[in-house]
Structure 1
Amino acid sequence: MTRAEDARTTGGAGRRSAPATAVEDTLDLRLTEELLALFAADAPSAAGPAASALLDAPGSWRPATTSAGIFQLVPVRLERDLAVVTRWMNDPAVAAFWELAGPEEVTARHLAGQLEGDGRSVPCLGVLDGKAMSYWEIYRADLDPLARHYPARPHDTGVHLLIGGVTDRGRRVGTTLLRAVADLVFDHRPSCARVVAEPDLRNTPSVSAFLSAGFRFSAELDLPEKKAALMVRDRAHRDHL
């Protein structure tokens, strides 16, 4: 994969924002108190906040040893991380797909929608050997508007990502970290049988990165903001990859 291809993968693997006229967003499905209580009771650790109940607290997941180094997901803190995430969002290779270029207020609104939500989507920094170098969103795909467009199963977990620094592109780091994050989901979310993603169908390098990370192409989806490739990694096939 060339550096240019990896840059396109960086954007395409992430979440492309819906246009202002679109009605779907990650947080537009409201959960009742009864449903939240049910998810909390079903989670391995029901004593924590909503993020623990719905996503089994990604911030507590142990670091992963990869060929690129020691990798860990660290939940975003707005006051600490806004500047760096904003800088990444303004990288043309990222902005083409995430559509969040602009001042810090644009990024802050995007992050606040998750940080102040019910925990179905957790924004994280990807820290590699102590350096923050990527941005991730770990989310409950079965509770997301995405579930309207594919046969979702309970506890399906979705991922969006971007690789922040140019020096971290072009080394197949994205593929390595995609595999590591999918493994972390399976290790720490015992109820989850599938990790899913929906990169832009036109972004062949992005789809290729997911395939190299053990995902399979499942379907073409007509989403409000793009045609997407539904990529799925199955727990049942994990030991064969």
Structure 2
Amino acid sequence: MSNLNDLTALALPSGSQLVADATESRLSLSLDGQPLIRLRLDREGQGPIQVDERYALPPGQALWAACYWLFAHDPARQQLIWQLDQAPTEALLSGLLVATEVAGEYRCERTLFWQLPQPWLGTSLSGSYPQQMVISNGKRHPLRPVKPRGEVYRRFDARLGAWISLRTVEIEQDLARFNRWQNSPRVASFWQEEGSLEQHREYLSKLDADPHTLSLIGCFDDQPFAYFEAYWAKEDRIAPFYDADNYDRGIHMLVGEEDHRGPHKVASWLSALVHYLFLDDPRTQRVVAEPRADNAKMIGHMHNQCFHCEKEFDFPHKRAALMILGRERFFDRCTLV
């Protein structure tokens, strides 16, 4: 795992590299070898950040890159105060910066920064998809957008020194892997979905045709290690057990590769999965899950990522724990880097 105090470079999903040259009182950032911005920092970390020089790239991009590096370098830091000679129009419009009562001073809040969808989010129409209420299978819910295809989320995890990404399932490409994972005794004890290739092809095909569920493959450095299902809770079997909102999302989780288990890996992929769902549609206020109530290890991992257990309840096939994470809580306590 990387030491964030020694952080000198951050990779961006575009393939670009953000490189820092930092001292106690100065920070110079370059993007792909081109100077981006030079900052003057308060040694004690209390005073405002000042811009010594800004180079050719758009000012909004330079400010975003500086905020990203500063938050990644110090995951406990919740706010950055900037002192700028000119009003940062682009940054103010996007929510990257917020005006303060002091003339020429602006703040960047961690809770706002990580709600900005780019560059982490792939193409998504969910957030701008118009609302029309429909009824399916006796349940009233918003008409859901067409499901995405391909990669939907990518971020460099500076703690792990690895890329975490999510892509949609491609049945022909992923069937053998999914079959191997589901037939693992460890996975089968919780999922109870052992079966043949044809049974699993039918399982994945059914989900692919279901507008309320999105099946995803989790990757570290583009190597698949996990399978996730993200569903709209209002249309799901969980809806009768709590007051489901129109845009609540739920998750099912399976780590298939043994060498990607462990709490530090869970912290990375679980926060990425939740981050993706909150970015995908800003109307989503809660992410829920219903692990088996006796799955103490997974429930403990979820507690570590700020989920809380609302209650236990009985599905026909299991005693479940209703785990809930609200949007406000996730971003207020966000430790993404």
TM-score w.r.t. length of structure 2: 0.55
Unaligned runs of 5+ in 1: 1-29, 41-45, 52-56
**One-letter code of the match for 1:132?**
P
Query: 1:6-38: per-residue Cα shift (whole Å, max 9, x none)?
Result: xxxxxxxxxxxxxxxxxxxxxxxx727xx78x5
* RMSD value, Cα: 2.1
Deviation at 1:230, TM superposition (A): 0.7
For 2:292 and 2:248, the matched residues in 1 are separated by 19
Aligned residues with identical type, % of pairs: 29
For 1:209 and 1:76, the matched residues in 2 are separated by 25
For 2:300 and 2:149, the matched residues in 1 are separated by 26
Query: 1:133-155: per-residue Cα shift (whole Å, max 9, x none)?
Result: 10010111111011011221111
| Structure 2 partner of 1:165 | 257
Q: Is the contact between residue 149 and residue 223 of structure 1 (CA under 8 Å) also seen in structure 2? A: no
Q: Is the contact between residue 153 and residue 167 of structure 2 (CA under 8 Å) also seen in structure 1? A: no
**One-letter code of the match for 1:39?**
L
Which of 53, 59, 80 matches 2:173? 80
| Structure 1 partner of 2:136 | 31
For 1:65 and 1:201, the matched residues in 2 are separated by 33
Q: Specify the SS of the correspondent of 1:63.
A: strand
For 2:156 and 2:149, the matched residues in 1 are separated by 16
Q: Specify the SS of the correspondent of 2:251.
A: strand
Deviation at 1:218, TM superposition (A): 1.0
Within the alignment, does 1:141 sit opposite 2:233 as a pair? yes
Q: Specify the SS of the correspondent of 1:111.
A: helix
Deviation at 1:59, TM superposition (A): 4.4
Deviation at 1:107, TM superposition (A): 1.4
Q: Specify the SS of the correspondent of 1:233.
A: strand
Q: Is the contact between residue 125 and residue 134 of structure 1 (CA under 8 Å) also seen in structure 2? A: yes
| Structure 1 partner of 2:95 | none
Alignment coverage as a number of residue pairs: 196
Which of 140, 149, 152 matches 1:61? 152
Query: 1:43-84: per-residue Cα shift (whole Å, max 9, x none)?
Result: xxx5xx2x2xxxxx3745331232332111111111111000
Q: Is the contact between residue 150 and residue 221 of structure 1 (CA under 8 Å) also seen in structure 2? A: no
Q: Which has the higher contact order (CA 8 A, sep 6+)?
A: 1
Q: Which has the higher helix share?
A: 1
Deviation at 1:238, TM superposition (A): 2.2
For 1:165 and 1:62, the matched residues in 2 are separated by 20
Deviation at 1:172, TM superposition (A): 3.1
Q: For residues 196 and 107 of structure 1, do their structure 2 counterparts lie closer, same or farther at Cα, with a shift above 3 Å needed?
A: same
Q: Could you list the runs of 4 or more consecutive aligned residues of structure 1 that deviate by over 6 angstroms after TM superposition?
A: none
For 1:73 and 1:224, the matched residues in 2 are separated by 31
Q: Is the contact between residue 263 and residue 301 of structure 2 (CA under 8 Å) also seen in structure 1? A: no
For 2:264 and 2:313, the matched residues in 1 are separated by 26
Q: Is the contact between residue 58 and residue 73 of structure 1 (CA under 8 Å) also seen in structure 2? A: no
| Structure 1 partner of 2:109 | none
1:101-120 map, 5 Å: 101-117=194-210, 119-120=211-212
Deviation at 1:175, TM superposition (A): 3.0
TM-score w.r.t. length of structure 1: 0.75
Higher mean displacement: 78-87 or 181-190: 181-190
Query: 1:170-210: per-residue Cα shift (whole Å, max 9, x none)?
Result: 35312321111111111121110000000011111110011
For 2:315 and 2:226, the matched residues in 1 are separated by 25
Query: 1:71-107: per-residue Cα shift (whole Å, max 9, x none)?
Result: 1111111111100010000111100111111211221
Q: For residues 123 and 82 of structure 1, do their structure 2 counterparts lie closer, same or farther at Cα, with a shift above 3 Å needed?
A: same
**One-letter code of the match for 2:166?**
L
For 1:196 and 1:227, the matched residues in 2 are separated by 16
| Structure 1 partner of 2:192 | 99
For 2:246 and 2:191, the matched residues in 1 are separated by 27
Unaligned runs of 5+ in 2: 1-134
For 2:156 and 2:212, the matched residues in 1 are separated by 26
For 1:227 and 1:217, the matched residues in 2 are separated by 13
Q: Is the contact between residue 151 and residue 168 of structure 2 (CA under 8 Å) also seen in structure 1? A: no
